[in-house]
Chain A
Amino acid sequence: GAGVSQSPSNKVTEKGKDVELRCDPISGHTALYWYRQRLGQGLEFLIYFQGNSAPDKSGLPSDRFSAERTGESVSTLTIQRTQQEDSAVYLCASSLEASGGYREQFFGPGTRLTVL
């Protein structure tokens, strides 16, 4: 079956513009995560969705960042008024229900965001 897909694969934007990144998780995966990897750093947790529960937004770096998920499918990560420090690869992952023990997270290929 299809893996996690993300679009666009690359996005170049000007400082101050808004961007929207999309993630299509694996069908049947109720948990969805967003991470980002800035140059020379590890992956940094941003936000986590699990079914109908309130999302865990503890990793979002500022109120310019927000994310939504439609049911148990597509998620969009929106960055408003982009700054140069937002330049990174944004990775989405999905897994089966994450309660009661660790479930393997499957990652998409990422969206490389460059803010000029």
Chain B
Amino acid sequence: DQQVKQNSPSLSVQEGRISILNCDYTNSMFDYFLWYKKYPAEGPTFLISISSIKDKNEDGRFTVFLNKSAKHLSLHIVPSQPGDSAVYFCAATEGGGGNKLTFGTGTQLKVEL
């Protein structure tokens, strides 16, 4: 049972445009959400996060939006750059759960020149 879902396995965007990556979850106990970025042959690196008490968090070119009623979050990257090409994982955790993360299956983003 996939509690965190990323339904788009891949996304292609032109440089300078906006990239929007989507994520849905089913577990209403999740209260903290994260996006990780992964390059080939490397471990995932933390990108941005959001607490369930917020609906938006922004960090430079990256913004995460959370819609709790829809159990949906999205990552916006604007403007997209070729170096953003990577696999992006959505993850979630429950408060007091020791911070073990539940991950989605990832979206491969390709930013084209």
Contact = CB atoms under 8 A, between A and B. Distances in A.
Interface of A: 4, 31, 33, 35, 40-45, 48, 50, 56, 59, 91, 93, 95, 98, 102-110
Given A48-B98, A109-B42, A43 B49 contact: no
Contacts of A48: 98-100
B46 A102 contact: no
Contacts of A42: 2, 4, 6, 89, 103-106
Residues of B in contact with A, size category: 20 to 34
Contacts of B46: 104-106
A40 B101 contact: no
B63 interface: no
29 contacts: A4-B43, A31-B99, A33-B100, A41-B105, A42-B2, A42-B4, A42-B103, A42-B104, A42-B105, A42-B106, A43-B44, A43-B101, A43-B103, A44-B103, A45-B100, A48-B98, A48-B99, A50-B98, A56-B98, A56-B100, A91-B44, A95-B99, A98-B99, A103-B99, A105-B46, A106-B43, A107-B44, A108-B43, A109-B42
B102 interface: yes
Given A42-B89, A106-B43, A107-B36, 4 more contacts: A31-B98, A56-B98, A98-B98, A109-B43
Contact of A102 (B36, B45, B93, B106): B93
A48 B96 CA distance: 13
Interface string B39-65: 001111110010000000000000000
A108 B108 CA distance: 20
B54 to A, nearest CB: 13
A44 B41 CA distance: 17
The 4 closest A-B pairs by CB, nearest first: A107-B43, A42-B103, A43-B103, A98-B99
A106 B101 CA distance: 12
A45 B41 CA distance: 19
Contacts of B32: 102
A44 B105 CA distance: 10
